[in-house]
Amino acid sequence: MLAAMCRELETLYPEMVRIRRDLHMHPELSFQEVNTPQKVADYLENLGLEVRTGVGGRGVVGLLRGGAAEKESRTIALRADFDALPIQDEKEVPYKSKIPGVMHACGHDLHTASLLGAAHVLSKVRDKLRGNVVFLHQFGEEKPPGGAKAMIEDGCLDGVDVIYGAHVWPALSVGEVAVTEGYAMAAGDLFEIEIKGRGGHGAQPHLTVDTLVVGCQLVLNLQQIVSRHVNPLEPAVLTVASIHSGQASNVIPDTCKLTGTIRCFNPDVRQLMHEQIAKITKATCEAADAVGSLVFHKGYDAVWNHPEQVRSVEAAAMKVVGEDKVKRVEPSMTGEDFSAYLQKVPGAFFFVGVGNPEQDAIYPLHHPRFDGDERAMLITGKLFLHLVWEELG
């Protein structure tokens, strides 16, 4: 049966490509998705699923009830995200984005088409499923607070026993699958610091409080948090990514603004970094008679994969791509709000290779020329089919 399901998915491949390319040409930014969720909902309704729209805001949830389900049957959830990024598409392909300044640079179009293909196949064997399948199509993953939390609060995980999600990964070649047990992706927060002083003439620094000098000193001082306050056995990153101050070469500015991000896995390290950023900002500014204000923008919690579900992914992947193509990889310091689902039910988030130099699929996620080998959709879809069948078949 499983082999027949995979063959059925292969016959759907042209349709999955069509769906993916349509989404790629018509991307929608986080929390602005209108047409995309409508397309997803229409597709799921045509499969005869029970569909809820507007879940948590703009999410779509499809429920496939197994015909062989019993009172104590289990329910498995599969998730894909469908929002795009504010990036200009620089690829020269027929399916290039038609929306100026917006593109699917993170593969969410590939995720969506993969899950719709799996839903199509599973809808044809519903009578043989000893449980239910929930298809979670999520909005807003790219922009905190994200869509996952809101969808959970709106009941998308009600009755769900286990969840799986996939993300395309250009660092992996097409045909490869990777997973990490335990912490897989980092928690990430943003911070903004504004320094206020007293501006003046560049030739009279003694009459000013030079916020640009204070800002530069603060950048250096903040680097001591990871090197001197965080346990060296705990992964952590602090990056000051922008500094804005002044406009003229002979004027000392009265304000300086810094922005940056922190990444880590351990919640205690996260709290420590917050406290140290506040303490160092205050002390650095006060030492120079400047005034500093700090604002944090809390991002997503760390993705923590449950061991049993990691083993399920590995077992399925070995059947789909072969044992030599299945990898355990180090955790990534990038973030994902799939973490919210994993805090509620057991599950795993895994990576599917889309890299292929012959197709110019060599660019990283969030790059204006990002693209992926579309055959990865077949691998993702087959993995979903295996995971569902092993659980409910």
For the chain, list the strands marked E by DSSP.
Answer: 50-55, 59-65, 74-81, 131-138, 162-173, 177-179, 182-185, 187-196, 200-201, 236-244, 251-252, 255-264, 291-297, 303-305, 326-328, 347-355
Q: Which residues face 350 on adjacent strands?
A: 166
Please give the structure tokens belonging to residue 383: 């993995």
Q: Which is the catalytic residue, given 141, 181, 210, 391? A: 141
Concerning whether 83 is annotated as a catalytic residue, the answer is yes
Task: Please check if 167 is assigned to a binding site.
Answer: yes
| HEC readout, 44-84 | HHHCCCEEEEEECCCEEEEEEECCCCCCCCEEEEEEEECCE
Please give the structure tokens belonging to residue 34: 């209108």
Task: Please check if 229 is assigned to a binding site.
Answer: no
Task: Please check if 390 is assigned to a binding site.
Answer: no
Please give the structure tokens belonging to residue 142: 């790219």
Task: Please check if 142 is assigned to a binding site.
Answer: yes
If you write DSSP's letter for every residue of 112-123 in order, what string do you get? HHHHHHHHHHHH
Q: Across the chain, which distance is largest between two alpha carbons, in Å? A: 83
Task: Please check if 108 is assigned to a binding site.
Answer: yes
CA atoms within 13 A on the CB side of 320: 32
Q: Which is the catalytic residue, given 28, 81, 83, 181? A: 83
Concerning whether 15 is annotated as a catalytic residue, the answer is no
Q: Which residues face 61 on adjacent strands?
A: 52, 136
- Residues with a catalytic annotation lie at 83, 141
Binding site for Mn(2+), residues? 106, 108, 142, 167, 366
